[in-house]
């Protein structure tokens, strides 16, 4: 087995394929009820309590300039050591390894 092989979380937003390095992903979960963030940009859906940390939730499609998508199935939460952010996405496809 090869040591230090990078793995990526493959997901879809607005029908387009994207990936995050799995090293930076804390959890993939169903969207959670969030509290509004006053005066935040329209891409911010609110904030959640994620295991005791306040995490801002962003609609990734809106952040990237696409129209809002009504069927956001998953929330990808980054490791809080990277950023206190979660991204709402259409769906998560799979985890792949770097070749």
For residue range 18-54, list pLDDT tens digits in order: 999 999 999 999 998 999 999 999 999 999 999 999 9
Q: How many CA atoms lie within 13 A of 90 on its CB side?
A: 17
> Does residue 1 have a pLDDT over 60?
no
Tokens of 2: 């090869």
Q: Is the pLDDT assigned to residue 12 strictly greater than 90?
A: yes
Total residue length of the chain = 99
- For residues 72 and 81, what is the distance between their CA atoms, to the nearest angstrom? 25
pLDDT (tens digit per residue) in 54-97? 999 999 999 999 988 777 899 999 998 999 999 999 999 999 99
Q: What is the pTM of this model?
A: 0.90
């Amino acid at each position: 087995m090869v040591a230090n092989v990078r793995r990526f979380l493959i997901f879809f937003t607005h029908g387009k394929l994207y990936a995050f390095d799995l090293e930076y992903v804390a959890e993939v979960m169903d969207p959670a009820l969030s509290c509004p963030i006053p005066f935040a940009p329209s891409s911010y859906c609110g904030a959640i309590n994620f295991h005791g940390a306040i995490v801002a939730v962003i609609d990734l499609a809106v952040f990237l300039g696409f129209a809002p998508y009504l069927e956001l199935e998953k929330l990808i939460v980054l490791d809080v050591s990277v950023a206190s952010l979660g991204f709402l996405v259409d769906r998560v496809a799979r985890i792949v390894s770097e070749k």
